[in-house]
Amino acid sequence: MRYFLVLFITFLCLSAKAQQTEFIDFISIKAEVSFEKDNTVKGKAKYIYKALKPFDSLMIDAVNIEITNFYDDHYDLDFEYDGKQIIYKPQFEANSYHELNIEYTVKPKKALYFTEKENSHQIWTQGQGKYTSHWLPSIDDMNDKIEFDLSITYDKDYQVIANGALIDKISNDSTTTWHYDMQKPMSSYLVALAIGKYEQKVITSQSGIPIQLYYYPEDSAKIEPTYRYTKQMFDFLENEIGVPYPWQNYKQVPVKDFLYSGMENTSCTIFSDDFMIDNTSFIDKNYVNVNAHELAHQWFGDLVTETSGSHHWLQEGFATYYALLAERDLFGDAYYYNRLYEYYVELKAQDEAGDGTALLNPKSSSTTFYKKGAWALHVLREKVGDRAFKKAVEDYLTRYAFKNVETSSFITEVEKQSGKDLTLFVDRWLKSPVLLEGQMIASLEDNETASFLITKQTNPYLSYRTDADDNYIPFSLITTLPEGFHAIQVSVLEEALSKPEYPTSDDLILEAFNSDQIQLRQTLALGLRTVPLKYQKQYEGLLNDASYITIEAALYNLWANFPRKRNLYLEQTKTIYGFNNYNIRILWLALAIATPEYEQDKTEAFFNELVGYTNPTQPFSRRQNAFETLSSLGVFNPAALTNLVEATKHHNWRFKSFAKQLVDLLSENEKYKSIISNLQDNQKQ
Ligand SMILES: [Zn+2]
């Protein structure tokens, strides 16, 4: 039986490995791409490949393209195409190089997106999973690493950004052709382009790598807060990882309505422009962690790439862990352990819901890949020590540079450097779905902040603040408690808010009101939905805080609690917009509309402004906010309904499903039913 099993497994491995990469190695793809008015992509791509073994069939992935020409360096060639793969059947000997050319057009359904802004538009790509073949015939298999050089022609008033270095730009009357050059190979899913109205600021790493920070022309005040710490993190990661940054340059490009927070395309990270923030936003929502995460992927994911989804943690676990290390370097140990503690809480919740998964399970959740992955590396490093860990990472990246990796590729290097047998670690941390809570808690207890938060889970802090005679011991949030990157103070203040009967709760709340600590004051803004009269004056002061979350909560709660002062609160906040989703402006409009005594003659203008934020040229986060607000006001006009039905076709699935649900809900209302069904009919045509 055992013998049979071995045979069977060998057979499985062989058949799984009989991939095209065994016979053919694609060396380079040079692609020329332009765009027609109707969003058709017009492309011409030249493929250089090497026959590794004799073969008689070659396959290129290409989804729903129209092939206009298919030829080698001399002749037109015969091919088969089934809408997904182009198959070409030559007879080639081993160790020979060949050329292929494809001319095509395609209207991509995914992977390449066209978005409208108020006075311009954008085109950008998202290749992961394996989607690049929706606009550029390429090789979906991550194991074939190819050097991609893109030449893109577009309206000369726009900027075009792609992987690699810009080597020339040729303009004619109306268009410019941008020629980007890569010098090293990568998997196809990492190919990227972004086109839009941009400016850029260039900084340079300690090692001399140009770092290009793109921004919209109107956003120059947002460059510093958005890209804060970029150079420090870049320099830190290069030193910490011990292997020089592998690409010619590093570009970061914000785009409208991106699918995720960010994507680590080789040398060209694309991220959501919701992260283009002003100085006030920084404290509540900033790009620092995403910035570090996508940068870490330039090594873990782009330089060494998983062979398959079973080893996905080698990308996401590593990127999450190294981003945390970069933040630890900036913000200190308390921050680092507080984040590990938060990951632990999230993983524990997943576990308790019965959804715990193993890191090596390709179908695991993001929580497992990212957060359990980071934890596994944290624990492994504690186990083998800094020196062995760092040397192992360096050797692993060097040995497999521009290649593909499995978990064993990494573990072998760590075993070599540490002299330790890691079988048990692999079984427990990587192969098992069980969460090793005991080990996690033991590690967290090394840090004062994390240890405090763990103890507080079972022993609420306030409940045991009594002396031997059962008298309550007064204390201070700010001077008695360990600082702990605000997490400790915030958690004790939350406890005080939930226990108004505790004798010193009042003192703690007043201390927080009188402090200048934004996090503590924000806890009050969010925690006191009913504002006691005795705190009214202090609570009103929250409207001046440098935090959009604080102002939003304070404005709403003050408006609701003190009706006679509504005009005053509205007057005080009428010029504040908030985050990219306009959290404050949209709330303000709703409150202004709902306050009959405020600027009555402008109510219609306020309503029209609110409806304007549902327009497709607005970012979807803002549109969703406006739709939700109209929904709570219970008023949709035809323009808002048109924009809502349009939103049910949006490329972002979360926004799309939000819009669909709202359409279904409104369709139950006789007032909207027929208008909506007419709009839906028009959309189908
Ligand atoms: Zn990632």
What's the pLDDT tens digit per position in 643-654? Answer: 999 999 999 999
User: How far is ligand 1, taken at its centre, from the CA of residue 325, in Å?
Assistant: 15
User: Is residue 193 domain-shared with residue 330, that is, in the same domain?
Assistant: no
Asked if residue 492 is part of any domain, the answer here is no
- Find, among 375, 388, 325, the residue nearest to 347 by Cα: 375
pLDDT in tens, 206-233: 999 999 999 999 999 999 999 999 999 9
User: Is residue 265 domain-shared with residue 205, that is, in the same domain?
Assistant: yes
User: Is residue 274 domain-shared with residue 339, that is, in the same domain?
Assistant: no
Are 135 and 70 contacting, i.e. CB atoms less than 8 angstroms apart? no
Asked if residue 335 is part of any domain, the answer here is yes
User: Is residue 237 domain-shared with residue 122, that is, in the same domain?
Assistant: yes
- Find, among 231, 229, 261, the residue nearest to 245 by Cα: 231
User: How far is ligand 1, taken at its centre, from the CA of residue 190, in Å?
Assistant: 12
User: How far is ligand 1, taken at its centre, from the CA of residue 412, in Å?
Assistant: 24
Give the number of domains in the chain.
3
User: How far is ligand 1, taken at its centre, from the CA of residue 365, in Å?
Assistant: 13
Mean pLDDT, the chain, rounded, equals 95
User: How far is ligand 1, taken at its centre, from the CA of residue 289, in Å?
Assistant: 11
Omega before 129 within 30 of 0, i.e. cis:
yes
User: How far is ligand 1, taken at its centre, from the CA of residue 295, in Å?
Assistant: 9
User: How far is ligand 1, taken at its centre, from the CA of residue 442, in Å?
Assistant: 27
Distance CA 60, CA 137 (A): 6
User: How far is ligand 1, taken at its centre, from the CA of residue 271, in Å?
Assistant: 12
* DSSP letters spanning 22-51: GTEEEEEEEEEEEE-TTS-EEEEEEEEEEE
User: How far is ligand 1, taken at its centre, from the CA of residue 316, in Å?
Assistant: 5
User: How far is ligand 1, taken at its centre, from the CA of residue 134, in Å?
Assistant: 22
The helix or strand, by DSSP H or E, that contains position 97, with its residue range, turns out to be strand 96-106
User: How far is ligand 1, taken at its centre, from the CA of residue 678, in Å?
Assistant: 42
Least confident of 175-184, 477-486, 524-533, 618-627: 477-486
* Chain centre to alpha carbon of residue 501: 42
User: How much is the average pLDDT of 173-180?
Assistant: 97
- Find, among 29, 64, 21, 22, the residue nearest to 48 by Cα: 29
User: How far is ligand 1, taken at its centre, from the CA of residue 426, in Å?
Assistant: 22
DSSP code, position 411: H
596: confidence class by pLDDT, cuts 50, 70, 90: very high
- Find, among 140, 151, 211, the residue nearest to 177 by Cα: 151
Asked if residue 69 is part of any domain, the answer here is yes
User: How far is ligand 1, taken at its centre, from the CA of residue 61, in Å?
Assistant: 24
User: How far is ligand 1, taken at its centre, from the CA of residue 17, in Å?
Assistant: 27
ipTM of the complex: 0.99
pLDDT in tens, 66-78: 999 999 999 999 9
User: How far is ligand 1, taken at its centre, from the CA of residue 438, in Å?
Assistant: 27
Distance CA 656, CA 616 (A): 12
451, 473, 490 — which closes off a domain?
451
In DSSP terms, which residues pair with 51 in a beta bridge? Answer: 24, 96
User: How far is ligand 1, taken at its centre, from the CA of residue 2, in Å?
Assistant: 40
User: How far is ligand 1, taken at its centre, from the CA of residue 306, in Å?
Assistant: 13
User: How far is ligand 1, taken at its centre, from the CA of residue 178, in Å?
Assistant: 28
User: How far is ligand 1, taken at its centre, from the CA of residue 611, in Å?
Assistant: 35
Q: Is the pLDDT of residue 191 over 60?
A: yes
- Find, among 577, 647, 571, 569, the residue nearest to 615 by Cα: 647
Q: Give long-range contacts, CB 8 A cutoff, 24+ apart: 74-80.
A: none
Residue-level pLDDT at 474: 85
User: How far is ligand 1, taken at its centre, from the CA of residue 487, in Å?
Assistant: 26
Name the pairing type of β-strands 80-81 and 85-88: antiparallel
Asked if residue 552 is part of any domain, the answer here is no
pLDDT in tens, 528-566: 999 999 999 999 999 999 999 999 999 999 999 999 999
Asked if residue 535 is part of any domain, the answer here is no
A 10 A CB-CB count for 250 gives 22
User: How far is ligand 1, taken at its centre, from the CA of residue 262, in Å?
Assistant: 8
User: How far is ligand 1, taken at its centre, from the CA of residue 98, in Å?
Assistant: 35
User: How far is ligand 1, taken at its centre, from the CA of residue 15, in Å?
Assistant: 30
Residues 6+ apart with CB under 8 A from 53: 22, 23, 94
Asked if residue 550 is part of any domain, the answer here is no
Residue-level pLDDT at 6: 44
User: Is residue 225 domain-shared with residue 90, that is, in the same domain?
Assistant: yes
User: How far is ligand 1, taken at its centre, from the CA of residue 411, in Å?
Assistant: 21
User: Is residue 275 domain-shared with residue 131, that is, in the same domain?
Assistant: yes
User: How far is ligand 1, taken at its centre, from the CA of residue 315, in Å?
Assistant: 7
User: Is residue 186 domain-shared with residue 320, that is, in the same domain?
Assistant: no
Q: Is the pLDDT of residue 119 over 70?
A: yes
In DSSP terms, which residues pair with 196 in a beta bridge? Answer: 159
Domain extent at residue 675: 577-685
User: Is residue 146 domain-shared with residue 30, that is, in the same domain?
Assistant: yes
Residues of the chain above pLDDT 70, percent: 97
Distance CA 255, CA 540 (A): 37
Distance CA 103, CA 626 (A): 44
User: How far is ligand 1, taken at its centre, from the CA of residue 297, in Å?
Assistant: 7
User: How far is ligand 1, taken at its centre, from the CA of residue 264, in Å?
Assistant: 7
User: How far is ligand 1, taken at its centre, from the CA of residue 605, in Å?
Assistant: 43
pLDDT in tens, 7-45: 444 444 444 445 899 999 999 999 999 999 999 999 999
Q: What CATH code is carried by the domain that includes residue 98? A: 2.60.40.1730
451, 468, 494 — which closes off a domain?
451
Q: What CATH code is carried by the domain that includes residue 400? A: 1.10.390.10
The helix or strand, by DSSP H or E, that contains position 272, with its residue range, turns out to be strand 268-272
pLDDT in tens, 343-353: 999 999 999 99
How far apart, in Å, are the Cα atoms of 486 and each of 51, 341, 343, 493?
60, 14, 17, 11
Evaluated on CA atoms 18, 24, 30, 36, the torsion sign reads negative
User: Is residue 404 domain-shared with residue 278, that is, in the same domain?
Assistant: no
User: How far is ligand 1, taken at its centre, from the CA of residue 106, in Å?
Assistant: 29
User: How far is ligand 1, taken at its centre, from the CA of residue 317, in Å?
Assistant: 8
Residue-level pLDDT at 18: 59
Asked if residue 525 is part of any domain, the answer here is no
393, 421, 451 — which closes off a domain?
451
pLDDT in tens, 261-311: 999 999 999 999 999 999 999 999 999 999 999 999 999 999 999 999 999
User: How far is ligand 1, taken at its centre, from the CA of residue 293, in Å?
Assistant: 6
- Find, among 247, 360, 338, 331, the residue nearest to 294 by Cα: 247
pLDDT in tens, 440-471: 999 999 999 999 999 998 888 887 688 888 88
User: How far is ligand 1, taken at its centre, from the CA of residue 367, in Å?
Assistant: 12
User: How far is ligand 1, taken at its centre, from the CA of residue 290, in Å?
Assistant: 8
User: Is residue 354 domain-shared with residue 242, that is, in the same domain?
Assistant: no
User: Is residue 177 domain-shared with residue 213, that is, in the same domain?
Assistant: yes
User: Is residue 329 domain-shared with residue 266, that is, in the same domain?
Assistant: no
- At residue 347, the 3 state secondary structure works out as helix
Asked if residue 218 is part of any domain, the answer here is yes
A 10 A CB-CB count for 433 gives 15
User: How far is ligand 1, taken at its centre, from the CA of residue 312, in Å?
Assistant: 10
User: How far is ligand 1, taken at its centre, from the CA of residue 305, in Å?
Assistant: 12
